[in-house]
Structure 1
Amino acid sequence: MSTQADHGHELVPRPEQTPDALRAAFAVVAPGRLPEMQQSKDEAFAKAVEWQSLSPVRSWVLAWARDIEIARRPELSARHARAQRDLENEDPAVAQQALRELSEVLDEAMKAVRT
């Protein structure tokens, strides 16, 4: 596992982008989502066989690496949770700001796992 100290406190180091490493990290930061992770992995591998392409597997790895990146960094996780909660706000300005914040959080996490 690797980590970058510039993000402050992290619950676990950033895992390698392999199914086993991602699962081990997720078991620590979000164990309740492991069944969802396994189901989406099974679907990705089935699509890979059907399509004769590794792109579904690559997409699965990146999506879960991104979600782990958010969950392992408490500050980023808090921003994500606030944005998710505010998406349903009755005030359109609050909901719009939440959408922008959610996009920024997802972009930040994706950029981190792609480096």
Structure 2
Amino acid sequence: MSTQSDHGHELIPRPEHTPDALRAALAAVEPGRLEEMQAQKDEAFAKAVEWQSLSPVRSWVLTWARNIEIARRPDLAARYAHATSRLEHEDPVTAREALLELSSILDEAMKAARE
């Protein structure tokens, strides 16, 4: 696992981009999503064989590195939960603000995951 960054409190260090490291990190921060991760991994590897390309595997790694980045950082996890809870708000302005916030969170998490 890599060293911690300056994002404040982190539950675990940022994991390396390997299936085993990502799985171990997810088990530590969101164990309830392990089956989802495994199903998406199986799908990515099947597509990689079918397409004769590593692109689906690379996408899987980045998606889960991003998801774990959100889960391992309580600041991002709280912002993510708040934004997703407002996505279907009856006030369209509130819903749009939530969508913009969610996009910002996902961008921030992806950028951090690629460090």
Aligned positions of 1:38-49 closer than 5 A: 38-49=38-49
The answer to whether the Cα contact below 8 Å between 2:4 and 2:10 also exists between their aligned partners in 1 is no
Supply the RMSD in Å over aligned alpha carbons: 0.6
Q: Structure 2: which amino acid aligns with 1:32? A: G
Query: 2:81 — aligned with what?
Result: 81
The normalised TM-score by structure 2 is 0.98
Query: 2:10 — aligned with what?
Result: 10
Displacement of 1:5 after TM fit? Answer: 3.2
| SS of aligned partner of 1:5 | coil
Query: 1:53 — aligned with what?
Result: 53
Bigger fraction of residues in helix: 1
Question: Matched residue pairs, number?
Answer: 115
1:69-107 Cα distance to aligned partner (Å, 9 max, x none): 000000000000000000011011100000000000000
Query: 2:33 — aligned with what?
Result: 33
**Does residue 72 of the first structure (1) align with residue 44 of the second (2)?**
no
1:38-84 Cα distance to aligned partner (Å, 9 max, x none): 00000000000000000000000000000000000000000000000
1:102 & 1:5 partners in 2: Cα distance? 21
2:50 & 2:88 partners in 1: Cα distance? 37
Displacement of 1:3 after TM fit? Answer: 2.7
**Does residue 102 of the first structure (1) align with residue 102 of the second (2)?**
yes
Q: Structure 2: which amino acid aligns with 1:81? A: A
Q: Structure 2: which amino acid aligns with 1:10? A: E
2:13 & 2:61 partners in 1: Cα distance? 16
1:46 & 1:6 partners in 2: Cα distance? 37
1:33 & 1:5 partners in 2: Cα distance? 24
Runs of 4+ in 1 over 4 A off after TM superposition: none
1:24-48 Cα distance to aligned partner (Å, 9 max, x none): 0000100000000000000000000
Displacement of 1:4 after TM fit? Answer: 2.7
Structure 2 unaligned blocks of 5 or more? none
Q: Structure 2: which amino acid aligns with 1:37? A: M
